[in-house]
Amino acid sequence: MPLVTSKEMLVYARENGFAVGAFNAYNMEMVQAIIEAAEEENAPVIVQISEGAIAYGGEKSFAALIKVLAEEVTVPVVCHLDHGVNFFTVIKALKAGFTSLMFDGSSLTFEENIEKTKKIAEIAHAAGIPLEGEIGKIPDAAKGPLSPEEVKKYLTTPEEALEFYEKTGVDSLAISVGSAHRMKVQSVQLDIDRIVRIKEKVKIPLVLHGASGVMDESLVQAVKAGISKVNFATELNKAFTYALRKELSNNPDLVDVRKYGATARENVKKTVKEKIQLLNATNKAPDILKIINKRSFTRENKGGATIE
């Protein structure tokens, strides 16, 4: 089916106690694995393309690939810009056909983050595309383990989240509740009470970044507490790379890229399916499609343009 925006699926997830998996892709095989896994699980899915992936493969190439593959399945698929920290990257992604955007102003002052996010939200909304913002900061574990004190100083407060939401008009909000980017081992326990308190104040879907390093049980609790979108990147990279290394180690004379590419793709798909099940998103696609189709029917009868 055609690409859809993330708005309806995340609102529905918030209201029905599950989360939509948002999976970062860096090549064709990963995009294929993510969409095939969603189809097999009958689940909504968000394919995420980061600024780094755009620098590597180009926003137009990724948008075209995701669009073509989405049209071959029956579940709703979103093409989302992940961590757009550059204004021009956000606009390029919008022009390329991305159906969901994120502006990450978390490195700015609170006031600057609000100001820039609000402007980008206005642009995105004028095109019928939802925008995700971020308040607090998700730390980066690439340089080594983070102490509890280091993690704590980045955490989002309910008061900050409410002010940011009210002043920017974003459609979803990434919050810092204990996770970290690029963690290679699942060891994090999230601040579940903080998620509950933020959800009580902020009436839009909440997003968790850095989920690859979160313990499964803590992730399940976070979804029950109010997280509606969960981002995975490192765990997919690990699945792809480990399968690739194993295949080439077992078959050192193998030179056909299709064969080891297919092996890596299957391992990524397996990982994506496990995460979709963990988030309780399996078989949620039909209900979301009903909402999307109803909205399209209403717009068409009003004579307006339909933007999914």
For the domain that residue 88 is a member of, what is the CATH number?
3.20.20.70
Position 303 in a domain: no
Q: What is the pLDDT of residues 97-150, one digit of tens each?
A: 999 999 999 989 999 999 999 999 999 999 999 999 999 766 565 555 555 666
Helix (H, G, I), strand (E, B) or coil at 102: strand
Position 302 in a domain: no
Question: What's the whole-number mean pLDDT along residues 64-70?
Answer: 98
Q: How much of the chain exceeds pLDDT 90, in percent? A: 82
**How many Cβ atoms sit within 10 Å of the Cβ of residue 119?**
13
Position 117 in a domain: yes
Q: Which residues pair with 79 in a beta bridge?
A: 47
Helix (H, G, I), strand (E, B) or coil at 103: strand
For the chain, give the mean pLDDT.
Answer: 91
Helix (H, G, I), strand (E, B) or coil at 270: helix
Please give the positions annotated as active site. 82
Q: Which residues pair with 49 in a beta bridge?
A: 81
| Cβ-contact 281, 287 below 8 angstroms | no
Please check the confidence at residue 157 and state whether its pLDDT lies above 70. yes
Instruction: Give the contacts of 102 (CB within 8 A, at least 6 positions apart).
Output: 80, 81, 82, 83, 84, 131, 132, 133, 134, 174
Q: Which residues pair with 102 in a beta bridge?
A: 132
| Cβ-contact 100, 5 below 8 angstroms | yes
pTM of the model: 0.91
Annotated binding site for Zn(2+): 83, 104, 134, 181, 209
What DSSP string describes 210-242? -GGGB-HHHHHHHHHHTEEEEEE-HHHHHHHHH
Number of domains in the chain: 1
Position 300 in a domain: no
The pair of three-digit structure tokens given for residue 113, joined into one six-digit string: 């983050």
Q: How far is Cα 41 from Cα 59, in angstroms, rounded to an integer?
A: 27
Range of the domain at 121: 6-295
Banded model confidence at residue 177, pLDDT cuts 50, 70, 90: very high
pLDDT at 188: 79
Annotated binding site: 83, 104, 134, 181, 209
Range scoring the smallest mean pLDDT among 90-94, 175-179, 282-286, 304-308: 304-308
Q: How far is Cα 231 from Cα 21, in angstroms, rounded to an integer?
A: 6
